Amino acid sequence: MTPENLIWIAMLLPLVAIALIFIVGEKSPNIREACTIGIAVALFSVTTRLAGFVFSGGRPSFKMGEILPGFEIAFTVEPLGMLFALVASGLWILTTVYAIGYMRGHHEKNQTRFYACFASAIFAALAAAFAANLFTLFVAYELMTISTYPLVTHHGDEKAKKGGRIYLGILLSTSVAFFMLAIAWTWTVAGTLDFTPGGILAQPNIDGKISDFQLSVLLGLFAFGIGKAAIMPFHRWLPAAMVAPTPVSALLHAVAVVKVGVFSILKVSIYIFGIDLISETRLGEGPNPIMMSDWLCYLAGATILLASLVAMTKDNLKARLAYSTISQLAYITLGAALATTDSVIGGGMHIAMHAVGKITLFFCAGAIYVAAHKTDISDMRGLGRAMPLTMGAFLLATLSIIGLPPGGGAWSKWFLAMGTVQTGHFWLLAALMVSSLLNIAYLIPIPIRAFMTPVGETPMKFKEAPMMCVVPLCITAVGSVVLFFFGNEIYNVLLPIATSTR
């Protein structure tokens, strides 16, 4: 099979899943879930085959057609998107297994709609990952917002309505007011929206059409317009989305949705501006002119610290994880804004590392909820004796999030730190270090207390969540450690995105 065909097959599979889910429906949930898992496995095998081509240097592409003259829906696979697609499709399998355990253990309603929307979010994630131009990326981005709205508001109560309102309100308004404007502006200046190695705004024919200051403003429109990257002050949707059932928070708000955001920012930085353009364009006069993306670097740095601080104040486990996610996403934005080879590779790597780590933490939160009906961290003392597997996995994933070996996150944070040193942003290096300390402060106590605190009057019996929940979270926890040993491979795979010259 040619890689070109693999692209459309990969994107067709989630659509087939949606159709099958609706056809089978509530009549036989077992067949419905079997279809989802079967297709998820098929999708993963397709993406791995595709990855074989892409990582060995191939750039397969596939055109769907033009919507308007000059604006086409087209797909080209490059390493960064491939890595994202691999992560999303691989974790889809595990999340589906987990969701079966969670949704049934919890007797949730409207499960057909749930699985269908899930599959359409995966479709949107793949479309974004493979997008060959900004227009396609934008379409996929908006599709993702809409298809996840029913998932966020799954419970259909007043709280879900409020959460959904913030979710949709922030994501739609930022994307329409800023992102769309930025795309149209790029189009007017460059006359193309195709992702080009080296950056379309760095091409010689752009000279003089846009000033350095305007470039900085355009970068701002992108950074704020891509609200899914949750740069402060447009981060409120992420905690609001936590009203969703936990499998949604796990796959979408640790992997697919948020990663589409930071992935888009990386794509814009690498293929629209070009990292050379970002790092070489200086604003201001004098001996030390500042980089045009400096303000974004510091904003990302501030988001990293502030979100970590807020996370410390949260007693609800999912809320704490949500703020931790905001902080970790800002690492990737920082990588894009620093615009050095190491920093963008670190950012790209962090997409994978953080995804595997954070999905484990969310899985654990859900498992604790299903088995022990606890949502607050203060209630989780001594829980390690009842749920040793879950809490053990939590500990492993925590290491990866903090960036301690043998967690995979150690590598990505290392390369990001290299980026700050290379560009002379020592304050940001300090921020990264402080943030790691904060991560330790708000994550490590959870498993420690769960294991070490003496149990109260009622001794806890061994009571894990259903197998369907526990097995996936153990796999992802082990995965976050395994990734540590593949740091070099991922670096080499991503190297082409940062070294393609204009």
Partner 1 sequence: MIEQLPVLVIVIPLMAAPLFILIGNRKLVLLLTQLVCWTVFGIAVTLLSRMQDGPISYELGGWPSPYGIVYTVDYLSSFVMLFVSGLGAIVITYAPQSIKKEVHQSKHTLFYASYLLCMTGLLGMCITGDLFNVFVFLEISSLSSYALISLGKTRRAPLAALHYLIIGTVGATFFLIGIGLLYQMTGTLNMADIAARIQPIDHSRTLLVAFAFMTVGLFIKMAVFPLHTWLPNAYTYAPSVVTCFIAATATKVSVYAFIRLIYVIFTPQFAFERLPLDQALMAFSLVGIFVASAAAIYQTNIKRLLAYSSVAQIGYMLLGISMSNVGGLTAGITHMFNHALIKGGLFMVVGCFALRIGSVKLDDLRGAGKTMPLTSFAWVVGGLGLIGLPMTAGFVSKWLLLTSALSLGLWPVAVLMLLSSLLAVVYIWRVVEILYFSPPSHLAQSAKEAPMAMLIPTYVVIGSTIVFGCWTVYSAGIAHAAAQSLLGISQAGGVQ
Give yes or no for residue 146 binding partner 1 (CB under 8 A).
yes
Which of 153, 293, 324, 423 is close enough to bind partner 1 by CB under 8 A?
153
Give the N- to C-terminal CA distance of the chain in Å, as an integer.
Answer: 32
Q: How far is the CB of 83 from partner 1 (least distance, A)?
A: 25
Give yes or no for residue 4 binding partner 1 (CB under 8 A).
no
Region of 125-133, 151-159, 270-278, 431-439 interacting with partner 1 (CB under 8 A): 151-159
Spatial distance between the Cα atoms of 232 and 432, rounded to a whole number of angstroms:
17
Q: How far is CA 234 from CA 129, 227, 240, 326, 331, in A?
A: 23, 6, 12, 10, 16
Q: Which two tokens stand for residue 490?
A: 């991922």
Give whichever of 157 and 315 is closer to partner 1, judged by the CB atom.
Answer: 157
Strand partners, 68: 71
Region of 157-165, 320-328, 417-425, 492-500 interacting with partner 1 (CB under 8 A): 157-165
Give whichever of 168 and 223 is closer to partner 1, judged by the CB atom.
Answer: 168
CB 278, CB 292: distance < 8 Å: yes
DSSP state of 1: -
Give yes or no for residue 62 binding partner 1 (CB under 8 A).
no
Give yes or no for residue 172 binding partner 1 (CB under 8 A).
yes
Q: How far is the CB of 143 from partner 1 (least distance, A)?
A: 7
Give yes or no for residue 156 binding partner 1 (CB under 8 A).
yes
Q: How far is CA 144 from CA 103, 118, 219, 257, 310, in A?
A: 22, 10, 22, 7, 27
Task: Please list, in sequence order, all residues whose beta carbon lies within 8 angstroms of the beta carbon of residue 371, skipping any fewer than 6 positions away.
Answer: 386, 387, 390, 463, 464, 465, 469
Give yes or no for residue 15 binding partner 1 (CB under 8 A).
no
Site string for partner 1, 446-475 (x = CB under 8 A): ------------------------------
Q: DSSP letters of 72-140?
A: EEEEE--HHHHHHHHHHHHHHHHHHHHHHHHHHHTT-S-HHHHHHHHHHHHHHHHHHHHBSBHHHHHHH
Main-chain dihedrals φ then ψ at residue 424, nearest 5 degrees: 75, 20
Give yes or no for residue 143 binding partner 1 (CB under 8 A).
yes
Distance of CA 117 to the CA centre of its chain: 18
Give yes or no for residue 72 binding partner 1 (CB under 8 A).
no
Give yes or no for residue 67 binding partner 1 (CB under 8 A).
yes
Which of 15, 31, 177, 448 is close enough to bind partner 1 by CB under 8 A?
177
**Burial class of residue 108 in the structure, from the number of CB atoms within 10 Å of its CB (0-12 exposed, 13-18 middle, 19+ buried):** middle
Give yes or no for residue 306 binding partner 1 (CB under 8 A).
no
Give whichever of 46 and 272 is closer to partner 1, judged by the CB atom.
Answer: 272
Which of 4, 72, 108, 142 is close enough to bind partner 1 by CB under 8 A?
142
CB 171, CB 237: distance < 8 Å: yes
Give yes or no for residue 1 binding partner 1 (CB under 8 A).
no
Region of 139-147, 239-247, 271-279, 363-371 interacting with partner 1 (CB under 8 A): 139-147
Which of 180, 305, 460, 478 is close enough to bind partner 1 by CB under 8 A?
180
Spatial distance between the Cα atoms of 120 and 16, rounded to a whole number of angstroms:
10
Q: What is the binding site for partner 1 (CB under 8 A)?
A: 65, 67-68, 71, 138-139, 142-143, 146, 153, 156-158, 160-161, 165, 168-169, 172-173, 176-177, 180-181, 184-185, 187-188
